[in-house]
Amino acid sequence: MDDASLLDAYSRTVVGVAETVLPSVASLAVRTARGGGAGSATVVADGGVLLTSAHVVAGARTAEADFPDGTTVQVDVVGRDTLSDLAVLRARGPVPPPVELGDAARLRVGQLVVALGNPLGLAGSVTAGIVSALGRSLPTTSGRVVDEVIQTDAALNPGNSGGALADGSGRMVGVNTAVAGIGLGLAVPINATTREIIRGLLANGRVRRAWLGIAGARIRLAPQLAARIGSPTGLQVADVIGGSPTDGAGLRRGDVVVALAGRPVRTVTEVQALMVEGAIGVPVEMTVWRNGALVDVIVEPRELQEADRG
């Protein structure tokens, strides 16, 4: 295939994605006590359910969504989750049909992606690029990080946040959330975790998570211990929050966590991934390396509260 044919195929793909997804991507106008803001949002389910970035609607209960076909509708903020930087909105009137949600777990580096949104107030903008990297981490205002973030070189600018990142088949695989630098954009992935977050926000207006109350860092283990547990690294505890479940279980600073619920853990984010709603109030075995020996402690996670996030 010659260069002209390749460019034609590329153009047809991007045009097809734009025609499929763009009608469901709204320009979002937000007003709060601190002033106005703007971003993007995408219809993701029947009944006028839209998905955007949590930081776009921070401090707001309502917003105004403008669609490319001229539809303007008020939307209510159903729930925000700062730990994933996602928020769910519900329209008060008819909106375009939802986009099809894909699975970011199937993305590959180098794959074509298309970003759709409203950068710098320019409604209905489309940019294309590739998946530059997968598995990035994105710090949030809560102090935690979003895992498995998609990095793309599709041009993103202020106002793109909350818009759709789509694959070449027109499936939404990410929520554009940040501009990290020239030629570097980030998007929260659409995956099984995201779908659970959306369901939780729709049902409860918030996402329930379990909490242990430790902070730590990944370290390389001694060869003997690494061979014994089947992992070269572990999570060394740097701090145990007073009154937390791990404090009550007797965890100490300097302990090295090597397994939780029978699963090897190496980072705080791996621990957080196991702290789902179903883990709240359920005793779990934690294996730690302490003073040259493996020690098992029983920890009962409790529900994460705003006061615990500080």
* 164-211 confidence digits (pLDDT tens): 999 999 999 999 987 766 678 999 999 988 898 999 999 989 888 888
* 8 Å CB contact between 41 and 51: yes
Instruction: Quote the CA–CA distance of 235 and 301 in Å, as a whole number.
Output: 18
Instruction: Quote the CA–CA distance of 291 and 87 in Å, as a whole number.
Output: 45
Instruction: Quote the CA–CA distance of 163 and 157 in Å, as a whole number.
Output: 11
pLDDT above 90: percentage of residues in the chain: 58
Phi, psi of 266 (to 5 degrees): -125, -15
More confident residue, 299 or 34: 299
Q: Hey, what CATH topology would domain 3-91 get?
A: Thrombin, subunit H (2.40.10)
Please report which confidence band the pLDDT of residue 1 belongs to, taking 50, 70 and 90 as the band edges.
low
Q: Is 85 a catalytic residue?
A: yes
pLDDT above 70: residue 4: no
* 8 Å CB contact between 134 and 88: no
Do 3-91 and 100-192 show the same overall fold?
yes
Phi-psi region of 48 (alpha: psi -120 to 50; beta: other; left: phi over 0): left
The full DSSP string for 113-173 is: EEEEE-GGG-TTEEEEEEEEEEEEEEE-TTS-EEEEEEEE-S---TT-TT-EEEETTSEEE
pLDDT above 80: residue 245: yes
* 48-77 confidence digits (pLDDT tens): 999 999 999 999 999 999 999 999 999 999
Structure tokens that stand for 55 in this block: 């930081």
The residues pairing with 52 across neighbouring beta strands, listed in sequence order, are 87
* 82-123 confidence digits (pLDDT tens): 888 999 999 999 999 999 999 999 999 999 999 999 988 888
Parse the chain into domains and list their residue ranges. 3-91, 100-192, 210-308
The residues pairing with 151 across neighbouring beta strands, listed in sequence order, are 133, 186
Task: Please identify which of the residues 84, 161, 167, 255 carries the catalytic annotation.
Answer: 161
Mean pLDDT of the chain: 89
Task: Please identify which of the residues 55, 81, 84, 255 carries the catalytic annotation.
Answer: 55
Q: Is 132 a catalytic residue?
A: no
pLDDT at 40: 96
* 134-171 confidence digits (pLDDT tens): 988 887 666 667 778 999 999 888 889 999 999 999 99
Structure tokens that stand for 74 in this block: 């008020």
Task: Please identify which of the residues 40, 81, 85, 125 carries the catalytic annotation.
Answer: 85
Q: Is 8 a catalytic residue?
A: no
Q: What is the pTM of this model?
A: 0.81
* 8 Å CB contact between 102 and 131: no
pLDDT at 234: 86
pLDDT above 50: residue 310: no
Instruction: Quote the CA–CA distance of 105 and 102 in Å, as a whole number.
Output: 9
- The whole-number average pLDDT for the span 34-39 is 86
CATH assignment, 210-308: 2.30.42.10
Cα 122 to its chain centre, rounded Å, is 25
> For the domain with range 100-192, which CATH number is right: 2.40.10.10, 3.20.20.210, 3.40.50.720, 3.40.225.10?
2.40.10.10
More confident residue, 57 or 230: 57
> Checking DSSP bridges between strand 72-81 and strand 86-91, what pairing results, if any?
antiparallel
Going by C-beta distance under 8 Å and a sequence separation of 6 or more, which residues neighbour residue 106?
Answer: none
pLDDT at 24: 97
